[in-house]
Amino acid sequence: MTTEAPATVEVTARDLQGPGVVFCPNPKMPLWSTHPRVFIDVAAHGEGKCPYCGTLYRLKAGEAPRAH
């Protein structure tokens, strides 16, 4: 049995919602791989990992979260 490594998704400041979060599963993920929606704080540390599928969301180099 082989397992795929979790994906890494680069996000831009425009992708961040509200207080600097993204949600997983994201709209580009196939329907069969869905799990409960979770919000992942990317703004605080520049990256965050989904506790369900392990996808790593990373703020693209040179991007800074927008100030509200």
Instruction: Indicate the domain borders of the chain.
Output: 8-59
CA 59/CA 40 separation, integer angstroms: 12
Query: What confidence score (pLDDT) does residue 21 get?
Result: 94
10-residue mean pLDDT profile of the chain (68 residues): values are: 72 90 89 88 94 95 75
Query: What confidence score (pLDDT) does residue 3 get?
Result: 55
Query: What confidence score (pLDDT) does residue 49 get?
Result: 97
Tokens 């369900």, located at residue: 52
CA 36/CA 12 separation, integer angstroms: 23
- pTM given for the model: 0.81
In terms of DSSP bridges, do strands 56-59 and 47-49 run parallel, antiparallel, or are they unpaired? antiparallel
